[in-house]
Amino acid sequence: MIKNSILFVLTVLLSMQLSKATDTYIKANDSNIQYVGRIDFTNPLKPTYSFPGISIKAKFNGTTISAVIKDYGSGGATTTNYYNVLIDDVVTLKLKVVVADTLYLLASNLTSGDHTVELVKRTESSVGKSSFWGFVISGTTLLSLPTPPTYKMEFIGDSWTCGYGNEVSTNSPNTGFHSIYEDNGRAWGYTVAKKFDAQYHATSISGRGMYRNNTGSTTGVIPDEFDRIFPGQASPTWNFNNYIPDLVVIHLGTNDFALDAQTPPNSLDSALYVDKYIAFITTLRGYYGTSTKILCAFGNSTSDSWPVGMKVLTRWRNYITAIVDDFNTNGDNEVYKFELTIQSPPYGEDWHPTIVTHNQMANQIAPYIATITGRTASSYQAGTVILATSSKIKAPNVIVYPIPSSDIITIEGISESTPWEILNSTGQFLKSGKGNSASIENLKTGIYILHINEQFLRIIKL
């Protein structure tokens, strides 16, 4: 042991600026955490998800909070996940998560008292899976949140619903996809849900259509992926009893028309599109019952001017009208339609809507939703967020990871002969060693202190 005296323990207690004794690791299965979205709870300590718009919310009394997130994106320009962090219902930062890190500071130096924290996944499934492992708070327990909104909405769509490239505003939109610029938390569906104080699900995948995708492929279309928690992965399947929406908004057709041309084989097959759409709504009726309102939205992404002579918007309008009329004439009067105004420049990435356009879309459709639901819409508008980068647990010349860990932590920036020791949260000595790794597999789950080079670093054992 390096030092083992009462004086040393007192010194530790006075010096733990990064590791206060009141810090508590809250596991992901804590009953006071509210989850919304398609999430796999096979391991309740590590719930995993990929769809955009996933929400994780908690309430605590304290001044500091961190999140423990294990991410599986590969870290490239198209495969890095981001979250919006909301403190007391205000977006305070844009959080980047990476494979190498697991502990992320969400807020510090808050005023003493009760606060809420919410993580909203900005990025879509193709970017990669994420797994939430819990919070670390400057307190002892999470507090009970108010009951979440009872009204529920689901938005089913493609990149327009994901929020693809919506943080970019450019007159030269052929940029390709970059996950850093996608924010589902400021896409039109999320904004509509906020306007109506509703829970929000985004079941959306870029490039997918109702009967064919933007590549022309007819496999992996939205109806084929709809029962899945992870697109392209047959299991686990989603339990639809977990979330029965009061309103479903479908915006699918942009990719069905993507390869449209005046002659086959690329022109959209109207019969296939209409039949698949009708079958999909029938499937929704089976999952959700007859009281769920289904709104078929179209427009914004298409016009009659391009491709020249194709009259795409007119044809899309006619197809949606036929679909809705089919249900209405057969006694289902809870199927509706709404046409969104054609978007105008500037555009986001690859001709997608900007945040401004997403707000316009939400403002257009909200009055109609109010009419068919009898609910009142607020004036909520999506605002701006700032970027915060991720970090490992760092101190001068020392980096420790992964945090948390179930077995081995790595210590960079020291030699193999450098001694270290592990203390509990009250400064009591537990074990010592030397070099670039430390085993914590025999410790109980909780928060500990790594003492090294007169520095005190907080570590977490799962």
pLDDT tens across 307-354, in order? 888 999 999 999 999 999 999 999 999 999 999 999 999 999 999 999
Q: Does one domain contain both 111 and 189?
A: no
Q: What is the pLDDT of residues 430-459, one digit of tens each?
A: 898 999 899 999 998 888 888 887 677 778
Q: Does one domain contain both 16 and 28?
A: no
Q: Does one domain contain both 337 and 267?
A: yes
Q: Does one domain contain both 198 and 306?
A: yes
- When pLDDT is averaged across residues 228-247 and rounded to a whole number, the result is 98
Residue 1 banded pLDDT, cuts 50, 70, 90: very low
Residue 371 banded pLDDT, cuts 50, 70, 90: very high
Please give the structure tokens belonging to residue 142: 């999470």
Give CA separation, 428 vs 199, 217, 290, in Å.
46, 62, 62
CATH of the domain at 238: 3.40.50.1110
Q: How many domains does the chain have?
A: 3
Identify the pLDDT of residue 397.
63
* Within a domain: 205: yes
Indicate the average pLDDT of the chain. 90
Residue 391 banded pLDDT, cuts 50, 70, 90: very low
* Within a domain: 1: yes
CATH of the domain at 45: 2.60.120.260
* Within a domain: 146: no
* Within a domain: 386: no
CATH of the domain at 408: 2.60.40
Domain end residue (candidates: 106, 141, 176): 141
Least confident of 159-168, 212-221, 386-395, 434-443: 386-395
- When pLDDT is averaged across residues 373-378 and rounded to a whole number, the result is 97
Residue 395 banded pLDDT, cuts 50, 70, 90: low
460 pLDDT more than 90: no
- When pLDDT is averaged across residues 139-147 and rounded to a whole number, the result is 95
Task: Choose between 138 and 385: higher pLDDT.
Answer: 138
Q: Does one domain contain both 365 and 309?
A: yes
Identify the pLDDT of residue 262.
72
Contacts for 446 with CB less than 8 Å, ≥ 6 apart: 25, 424, 425, 460, 461
15 pLDDT more than 70: no
Q: What is the pLDDT of residues 49-94, one digit of tens each?
A: 999 999 999 999 999 999 999 999 999 999 999 999 999 998 988 9
Closest CA to 109 of 138, 88, 85, 84: 138
Please say whether the dihedral angle defined by the alpha carbons of residues 294, 357, 385 and 46, taken in this order, is positive or negative: positive
* Within a domain: 343: yes
* Within a domain: 75: yes
Residue 171 banded pLDDT, cuts 50, 70, 90: confident
Q: What is the pLDDT of residues 87-113, one digit of tens each?
A: 999 898 899 999 887 889 999 889 999
Q: Does one domain contain both 191 and 241?
A: yes
Identify the pLDDT of residue 392.
47
Q: Does one domain contain both 237 and 305?
A: yes
Q: Does one domain contain both 189 and 310?
A: yes
Euclidean distance between the first and final Cα of the chain, in Å? 25
Q: Does one domain contain both 255 and 366?
A: yes
Write down the pTM of the prediction: 0.84
Q: Does one domain contain both 160 and 129?
A: no
**What is the Rg, in whole angstroms, of the alpha carbon atoms belonging to the chain?**
25
Please say whether the dihedral angle defined by the alpha carbons of residues 409, 414, 420 and 424, taken in this order, is positive or negative: negative
Q: Does one domain contain both 246 and 369?
A: yes
Note down the domain range covering 417.
1-22+398-462
Quote the CA–CA distance of 415 and 39 in Å, as a whole number: 42
* Within a domain: 381: no
Sheet with 408-412, edge to edge strand ranges: 393-395, 398-401, 408-412, 437-439
Residue 356 banded pLDDT, cuts 50, 70, 90: very high
Residue 383 banded pLDDT, cuts 50, 70, 90: confident
Residue 196 banded pLDDT, cuts 50, 70, 90: very high
Q: Does one domain contain both 197 and 291?
A: yes
19 pLDDT more than 60: no
Highest-confidence segment of 203-217, 263-277, 430-444: 203-217
The 3 state secondary structure assigned to the chain is CCCCCHHHHHHHHHHCCCCCCCEEEEECCCCCCEEECCCECCCCCCCEECCCCCEEEEEEECCCEEEEEEECCCCCCCCCCEEEEEECCEEEEEEECCCCCCEEEEECCCCCCEEEEEEEECCCHHHCCEEEEEEEEECCCEECCCCCCCCEEEEEECHHHHCCCCCCCECCCCCCCCHHHCCHHHCHHHHHHHHCCCEEEEEECCCCCCCCCCCCCCCCCHHHHCCECCCCCCCCECCHHHCCCCEEEEECCCCCCCCCCCCCCCCCCHHHHHHHHHHHHHHHHHHHCCCCEEEEEEECCCCCCCCCCCCHHHHHHHHHHHHHHHHHHCCCCCEEEEEECCCCCCECHHHCCCHHHHHHHHHHHHHHHHHHHCCCCCCCCCCCCCEECCCCEEECCEEEECCCECCEEEEECCCCCCEEEEECCCCCEEEEEECCEEECCCCCCEEEEEEECCEEEEEEEC
* Within a domain: 147: no
Identify the pLDDT of residue 173.
86
Domain end residue (candidates: 121, 141, 161): 141
Domain end residue (candidates: 312, 338, 373): 373
